[in-house]
Structure 1
Amino acid sequence: MEEPPDVETLVTGLVSDNEGARKYAVFKLQSLLGDPAFADAFIQGDGQIALRHAALETIGNTQAYAFGSLDALLELDIGWDAVDGPVIDKAVELAVTHPLVNIVRNALTLLVLIVSRPLRQSRRESAEVFGFGAIKPALDNHPDFLDSLVQRLSASDHTLCANALQLVNALMRDAVIHGGEHEWPKFIKRLQDLGVIGGVGMLMRGDAASDVGSPLATAILEFQGLTKVLLRKWKEVRVNLELVEHRRALKTINLLSKPEPYNPPQADGEDGGKDSKRHHPRKWRRLGFESENPALEFDDTGYLGMMDLVDYARRNEDSYSKILMEQAVQPVEQRCPVARASLSITLILYEHFEIDEAVDTVDGAATGHTRTTSAYDREVNPYNVNKMYRPLLLQWGRLHTAATNAFQRMWKLAAAEHEDFFKIEEVIRVIIERIIGAADRKTDVGKIEDELRGVTLETARRWQIDGLDEVYEDAWGPHLVQVREQLHQESQQFMKEQRVRCLLQGQWFPVTALNTGAVVPWRYVRLSHNRKWLHYQDFASKNSSEPTIGDLAEKIDLSSVTSVDSNVSAAENPVMNGANESTETLKETKTGDSVKTKQPQQSTTTKITILGTPNKPNKHSLNSNGGAPDDESILLELFPQTSYIASEWLDGLLMLLNQEPITKDTTRLIDMMKDWGVRLRMLNLRWEDVDWEALEARVKGARVAEREVPTREGLDEDYYYAMAEA
């Protein structure tokens, strides 16, 4: 095994005039400098000066190895003396102009290390080789550097893409830390104008990003985290009309609305010249603000809300002014407040993308991603990558514009008024969660815009109802369990009454199973009014008029019935007529009317068998083994012609015996009424209506102060009841 060269040999090779010796020296250094002990020895031997010389004087692969060795030193936070203006300028020049990928990669890595070098790690007071300021002179010499850097994001070499994006991240991070309150937004805007958003978006959707452990994936996630940090910082910037940029933005919002000149009537003797023009009394409320002091209404959204509103007005310049003109002719209460809607969308998107939960990446250590990049997640669920990357976050402006337009459309469809603003806001929140939240990393923003443009109010309302359980489950979990249990009992009692009323009204049944074309006798069955007897009688034919109980000679004492058997459950699927019949049955029998809209079918195999012990009451219908009594016999057989009649009579008889219903038709109706009852109760709940302290105390078993019970003190006997007319 070849012994590695010593420090003296390598330093001599670096300054040698022989190209082969220099190439060998820098090639070996790349790997040897990974050892901190060797790196310290190399620094003590003034090796960094020789390495600097090699980086400036060599070309081709030798120069690539020289920069790679210099990168290895800087990663150990040593050798900074070798990094001066000429070296930085050379690195910028190579990054812009050189065609060799390996040289550009190492040059970009050097610049990343310089920009990312934390100030606290500077060991000498004179060390100023860090941050954007260190490379700014070189950038001034190469004004197309940033443009070239952004173009590198689309390179075919993934390592080069990663290095370029790492430098973009470092520049953004340093701009936020050291750029000043008014400088960093300008730098970020410059990067965005050069197309950095589109470049990173392509990387997010590309196959190379699926390897979440790669440097490229780390850089992408860091950029995503930085984007959230920037959005948060923009939101934290307070709108101040003393600042030129803020005044200009607010003026843009007004001018793009194309306001009509306002010349109020002049009083007698008042000059009507230019100086007499007054402020329109509804200048800002016309745009959808709540007052004539719009700066105060950006308190919740900060400068981010103003940026979004300006961007919306610019993207919809023609429709923006037309919308405001249409609103102006409508009653004040029915006008959609465009500005207020825009600010609301900003907050909804802010919450949807969980901006406040972003890892702060401006300290140079965080990467902007958390638990989703763990090795466990990658091994157990490799598809997490589709949720880790949020390329739609980078399309914030387009999403905001599309959602604001959707807000206005929902307002119009709902014929909303000002007091309905928060209701429409909640509808839009659900729409954004459903459409944007369901998108994966490959979903194009154009598709999202189309879906936001096409979603209907009915669909949004359905989503809203479907999501109520999830929205309130955390806060109302135990309460909802009790509500569901209570509503289940109420719904079951209601269905019992409905089914029993069908029995009270009576029904025709064929005496035997029907065969096509056969003529069979008919049996009419009806429950007595006291619900204790089941009367029936066989007839040669089905009469047009229904028999009375007096016409029914046969009867069964329900106290003697031990069980009701049927094949309804088995035959239910092939003969079931659907939920619409059940709904119709429920709807029409609320008034006590029987449903007879269906014509009898000409064939049926459904049978209900009533079993019992004739001639003696059934107080102990089951034997000691839990089965039927030994002397149990068939008391009556019924052949329902349709599934919903079978459901009514089978479950009606079971419920009369205080047993649970078994047919899908009945249980479906019970569940439907229970679910709608829960949802209606939740729609009436408000978070502010809850005494959270009392609720928490009850959950923990603590004593709660009882409310004062009203007394009759001061009242007399002079009162009356208001009786409502039937």
Structure 2
Amino acid sequence: MDDLPDVEMLVSSLMSESESSRKYAVFKLQGLLSDPSFADAFIQGDGLLALRDAVMQTSGNTQAYALGSLDKLLELDMGWDGVDVLVVEKAVALAVSQPLVNIVRNALTLLVLVVSRPLTGSQKENGGAFGFRAIKPALDNHPTFLESLVHRLSASDHTLCANALQLVNALMRDAVMHGGEHEWPRFIKRLQDLGVIGGVGMLMRGDAANDARSPLAAAILEFQGLTKLLLRKWKEVRVNVELYEHKKALKTIHLLSNPEPYRPADSNGETGRKGRAKHHPEKWRRLGFETESPAWEFDETGYLGMMDLVDFARRNEDTYQKILMEQSVHPAPHRCPLARASLSVTLILYEHFEIDESANEEGSGHRNSLQERIREARANGNLDRLYRPLLLQWGRLHTAAINAFVRIWKASGAVLDDFYKIEEVVRIIVERVVGTTTRKTEVGKVEDELRSVSLEEARKWQMEGLDEVYEDAWGPHLVQIREQLHHESLQFMKEQRIRCLLQGSWFPAGVAVDAGWRYVRLSHNRRHLHYRSYPAKGDDEPGLSDLPEKLDLHSVTSVDSNVSASEQPATSLSNGGGGGDNSSTETLTEKHHDSLKPTPTPTTNTKITIIGHPPATKSYKLTPVHTHTEPVESVLLELYPQSSSLASEWLDGLLMLLSQQPITKETIRCVDVMEDWGVRLRMLNLRWEDVDWEALEMGAKGERVVVREVPGREGLGEDYWYDLPET
């Protein structure tokens, strides 16, 4: 200890009557007491009593340094013997009335350390004061302390704000952890009434929250975690109508609904004007509960659900009564159950903010954990994502979501059996609107968006999110389903396109004026293209026997076209082009009508060229084998489709006949649409419980194989029939 500063000299200076000596001593101590070795030597040298006297007797910067030095000792969990009731009283008094910021900062830090002190079991058994109880006597002498503490949250000094918020957090944590069942809710409500939510909300949206090195960032996130802790605690409180507070809350919900006095009719069917009014037989069902004993309906939400419903009714009394009155004129199955809607919204918000998943954020090492999260988020550039300012606006979000629930109910014409469907739509709305906000998003903007979301838009979001909803549980299965549906859709389009070729179509014979017309048709065995040229387009569709010319598809090597490059409709003739009524794609693509009026100038800029080996001639057949001359490719047939649909049908039909992939946008779009809707329809029917996990066995290659029992005919007679569709 030879290298340590002279403790005796510092203690002597602390006890000096010279203000400058005491000021210098406490100033030096602030830095020295961070060393546990020196702190121990200081206490062994009777410096603690001298430091306590400096805290109690000095003023100005000397007092600020003295408080800072005492804080350093307490942070090392040393020097607690010097903190008695009078020191706590002094710190509270300074925090309330002292104008000097440096004194207030250190006084608040001292109170944070006192409230947060982790006492051992023996200390608690000996009646040692800890937590809120340690400062309660001082607070009784200074009733404006909590109000001044909340006011400090709006101070311009960020360190002062952080210290004030740290004390708020310490008081809240101690109240929840060690307060009685009825004490902590009253204390939290008192803080909320003083405006702590608004104060922290301003800090959260401010620029200081974005400074990861500021102590304010950790304090804000700690408050956010404590807010989740409070919500979880309220949800865990079971509603009991025997308790005064719970019974009073239910009565408030009833009275705010403006119930009419109920006087049942007498034996003659007349309603008496006199006599005591009785409870309506649907007293609670009128409010949207399922039964006349509503306590059990709060099992999922606990007292949190009751608080939310009371808060909605109290803050929106006119809206509350208006909704109930509007719904009362509808038949019972068509009424929106307002109370059930409120409880559902509570659970939706609870799940959205992941309240249960944050249970470990408030552990003993929560501050170190927060600092680690802040450093990690800062390194990844997403510090803003840690903050959830809308969590602090729980009541306003709850109200806005209830209004959205009722509005969607009306727009959809829902009935009671549709309740969970509407609940799911509202869940999606909350996820989309609230989940896409930023740290600086005002709650008013969120309320406006929740107010303006239409049913159609919500349904669109619902369909867009189906892939994400089932991805975790059904990801590999969806890949297989999509591959299967893609193959099935492709086969369907292949058959559809080939059927267009089997039906035949009219094409202009060329681009020149008065080039005539050509009718082309695929043979039934799909091996030949039959065609014939005509001077004019006929009224009828020629049969295969009327088409003497034919092209063997085995001799075709490729099909070329400018359709896939341009994808623009060809310059149409006034008669609309051929193949209109023959096309079976009219339900999937644009419908092209066929007019029989002749046109003098058939022109087109779309061409399909069929290339291959020409038919062998006699001279070619007599060519000696040893020459090995390969036949030369040439143009076998040219088609000039008059519409984009006809071009897509024939080009992709020919390609698919040659076992090639389609290339036109129209065909590919149809395949994608069928594949997409097939996946969606299957997903709408998927449930996790649909999988018979007990029936799954491992195949030879390790894959899962479904093994199901083959149904037998035991107990079945011959009295059965087939229900065939009408033709």
Please state if 1:441 is matched with 2:442.
no
Higher mean alpha-carbon deviation, 405-414 vs 605-614, is at 605-614
Aligned residues: 702
Aligned 1:475-514 pairs, distance under 5 A:
475-512=473-510
CA shift, 1:541, in A, is: 4.7
After superposition, what is the alpha-carbon deviation per residue over 1:222-275, rounded to whole angstroms, capped at 9, x for unaligned? 111111011000000000111111011001111111111111123589997987
CA distance in 2, matches of 1:191, 1:647: 71
- Indicate conservation of the 8 Å contact 1:520/1:541, yes or no: no
Report SS of the residue matched to 1:634. strand
Residues of 1 paired with 2:257 and 2:34: CA distance? Answer: 62
Structure 1 runs not aligned, ≥5 long: 578-583, 618-628
1:542 Cα deviation after fit: 4.7
Measure how far apart 1:369 and its partner are.
Answer: 6.3
Q: Which amino acid aligns with 1:8?
A: E
Residues 324 and 78 of structure 1, relative CA distance in 2, 3 Å threshold: same
What's the counterpart of residue 555 of structure 1? 550
Letter in 1 for 2:413: A
SS in 1 for 2:635: strand
Question: Residue type matched to 2:254 in 1?
Answer: N
Local SS of the residue matching 1:238: coil
Q: Distance in 1 between matches of 2:641 and 2:390?
A: 58
Tell me what 2:420 maps to.
Answer: 422
Which residue of 1 is the match for residue 646 of structure 2? 645
Of the three residues 566, 577, 581, the one matched with 2:561 is 566
Match for residue 31 of structure 2?
31
* Residues 625-677 of structure 1: CA deviation (Å, up to 9, x unaligned): xxxx7633221122334433322211111112222212222112111111111
Aligned to 2:284: 284
Amino acid at match of 2:400: A
Quote how far apart the aligned CAs of 1:395 are. 0.6
Mapped partners of 1:133, 1:422: distance in 2: 47
How is 1:201-280 mapped onto 2 (pairs within 5 angstroms)?
Answer: 201-267=201-267, 277-280=277-280
C-alpha displacement of 1:715 = 5.0
User: How does 1:103-118 map onto structure 2 within 5 Å?
Assistant: 103-118=103-118
- Counterpart for residue 63 of structure 1: 63
Distance between the aligned counterparts of 1:699 and 1:418, measured in 2? 49
Shift of 1:435: 0.8
Instruction: Give the Cα separation in 2 of the matches to 1:591 and 1:133.
Output: 78
RMSD over aligned Cα atoms: 3.3
Matching residue within 532, 540, 547 for 1:537: 532
Match of 1:385 among 383, 392, 398: 383
Q: Residues 82-124 of structure 1: CA distance to partner in whole angstroms, max 9, x if unpaired?
A: 1112211221122122222211111111111011111228769
1:69-108 alignment runs, 5 A limit: 69-108=69-108
Q: Tell me which amino acid in the other structure corresponds to 2:7.
A: V
- Describe the shift of the 1:227–1:11 C-alpha distance in structure 2 as closer, same or farther (beyond 3 A): same
Give 3-state SS (helix, strand or coil) of 2:560's partner: strand
Partners of 2:187 and 2:571 lie apart in 1 by 68
- Contact 1:84/1:129, CA 8 A, preserved across alignment: no
Are the structure 2 counterparts of residues 275 and 26 from structure 1 closer, same or farther at C-alpha, using a change threshold of 3 Å?
farther
**Residues 132-531 of structure 1 correspond to what in structure 2 (within 5 A)?**
132-267=132-267, 277-360=277-360, 363-367=363-367, 373=373, 375-379=375-379, 381-382=380-381, 384-512=382-510, 520-531=515-526
Distance 2:426 2:590 in 1: 43
Tell me if the contact between 2:8 and 2:45 (Cα under 8 Å) persists in the aligned partners: yes
Q: Which residue of 1 aligns with 2:19?
A: 19
User: Contact (CA 8 Å) 2:502, 2:521: kept in 1 or not?
Assistant: yes
The two structures have a TM-score, normalised by structure 2, of 0.89
Structure 1 residues 148 and 593, CA, compared in 2 at 3 Å: closer, same or farther?
Answer: closer
1:635 aligns with 636
Label 1:43 to 1:512 Cα distance change in 2 as closer, same or farther (>3 A): farther
User: For residues 122 and 540 of structure 1, what CA distance do their matches in structure 2 show?
Assistant: 112
Distance 1:269 1:510 in 2: 86
Output the CA distance in 2 between the equivalents of 1:476 and 1:458. Answer: 27
- Name which of structure 1's ranges 545-554 and 409-418 shifts more when overlaid on structure 2: 545-554
- Does the C-alpha gap of structure 1 residues 494 and 370 become closer, same or farther in structure 2, counting only changes over 3 Å? farther
Closer/same/farther in 2, CA of residues 347 and 642 from structure 1, 3 Å limit: same
Contact 1:526 1:536 in 2 (8 A): yes
In 2, are the aligned partners of 1:225 and 1:369 still within 8 Å (CA)?
no
CA separation of 1:71/1:122 partners in 2, compared to 1, >3 Å: closer, same or farther?
farther
* Runs of 4+ deviating beyond 6 Å: 268-275, 368-372, 573-577, 584-588, 590-594, 598-603, 696-700, 702-705
Give per-residue Cα distances to partners, 1:668-721, cap 9 Å, x unaligned.
Answer: 211111111111111122333332444587899599895443333455666554
Distance 1:118 1:324 in 2: 51
Cα deviation for residue 465 of structure 1 reads 0.8
Alignment-derived partner of residue 685 in structure 1: 686
CA distance in structure 1 between the partners assigned to 2:58 and 2:589 by the alignment: 100
1:669 is matched with 670
Q: Secondary structure at the match of 1:351?
A: helix
The 8 Å contact of residues 218 and 370 in structure 2, kept in 1 or not, is answered as no
Amino acid across the alignment from 2:143: P
Distance 1:374 1:194, change over 3 A: closer
Closer, same or farther: CA 364–60 of 1 in aligned 2, 3 Å = farther
Separation of aligned partners in 1, 2:473 and 2:254 = 43
> Between the two proteins, what is the percent identity of the paired residues?
68
Alpha carbons of structure 1 residues 592 and 286: separation in structure 2 relative to 1, 3 Å:
closer
Cα separation, partners in 2 of 1:234 and 1:125, compared to 1, 3 Å? closer
Q: Distance in 2 between matches of 1:149 and 1:630?
A: 97
Give the aligned residue type for 1:645. Answer: L
Q: Distance in 2 between matches of 1:261 and 1:302?
A: 30
Q: Distance in 1 between matches of 2:42 and 2:34?
A: 12
Check whether the contact 2:563–2:664 (CA below 8 A) recurs between aligned residues. yes
Distance 2:696 2:571 in 1: 46
Distance in 1 separating the partners of 2:557 and 2:15: 107
Q: Is the 8 A contact 1:74 1:113 kept in 2?
A: yes
TM-score by length of 1: 0.89
Q: Following TM superposition, by how much is the alpha carbon of 1:437 offset from its aligned partner in structure 2, in angstroms?
A: 0.8
